[in-house]
Amino acid sequence: MTSTARSAFVDGARAVLPALPANVPFGLVVGVAAANLGLHPITALWTAGLLFAGAAQLAMIELLARDAPVVVAVLTAIVVNLRYAMYSAGLAPYVRSVSRRWRLVLSFFLLDVTYALSVPAFRADETADRRAYYLGIAAPLWTTWTLSVTAGASLGTELPPAWHLEFAIPLLFLALLVPNVRDRGGLVATVVGGVGAVAGLGIPFDLGLVVAALAGVGVGLVADPEGADDEDGAHSGGNDPDGPDADRTEGEP
């Protein structure tokens, strides 16, 4: 790892620090749900590490606990994760210079937090090592997530309900959302998406969330088309030694 990459990695890790305290109770909630389903803590550990999608994992566990068919649980997880397709489209202009192999690695760590923190940073500094910065955000998130899910699965029902850990999840999303609402399109998209999500709470399999997100993005683009043009014009380079077709030897990020 070069000194530039190391510095970018540290900057990413520093940027994600405020989000980690909310990531822990989220993981504990999922871990407790897994324990109630009868999963061993080791099983909860590797599923958390491989799936790395808290909302989808929690939805699957809740459905399986209600004796829903496995196919329904899997399809629900896919639907809940559809928002990552939108995140991927938004992130793509900033990582075009990264090799295909590393883009696959980065896609595994694509979350609400990694997207919300990386894209504004990429806009602000076009010379940064984007791959290293992104991994600096992702590594602490993945580590705290897997450990907190395992802890929740180990403690099980011993965590007091009075803690209301579930409130950490929306609070985390609000903390990430508010600083990034900077223009008319973002404000309109936020309002429409929020109202739509509340209105769609009764739609099965969390489809209301997906519909609300799509509606918010669509209305936001109509309200502020200039913002979309600016996004399309984002520089894709950055100080990244990887070109899309670059031949690289194995090494650390």
For the stretch 208-232, pLDDT in tens is 666 777 787 778 778 766 555 555 5
* Res 249: pLDDT: 38
Long-range (24+ apart) CB contacts under 8 A made by 122-129 are 122/94, 122/234, 122/238, 123/234, 126/235, 126/237, 126/238, 127/238, 127/239, 128/8, 128/11, 128/238, 128/239, 129/2, 129/4, 129/5, 129/7, 129/8, 129/9, 129/238, 129/239, 129/240
For the question of whether the overall pTM of this predicted structure is more than 0.75, the answer is no
pLDDT, one tens digit for every residue, the chain (253 residues): 677 889 999 999 999 998 898 888 888 888 888 888 888 889 888 988 998 888 788 878 877 877 878 887 888 788 778 778 888 988 999 999 899 999 999 999 999 899 999 999 999 888 889 999 999 999 999 999 999 999 988 887 666 666 665 555 555 555 556 665 667 777 887 788 778 777 877 776 556 666 777 787 778 778 766 555 555 544 444 555 454 444 443 344 4
Residue closest to 64 by CA, chosen among 52, 75, 72, 56: 72
Residue closest to 60 by CA, chosen among 84, 40, 81, 83: 81
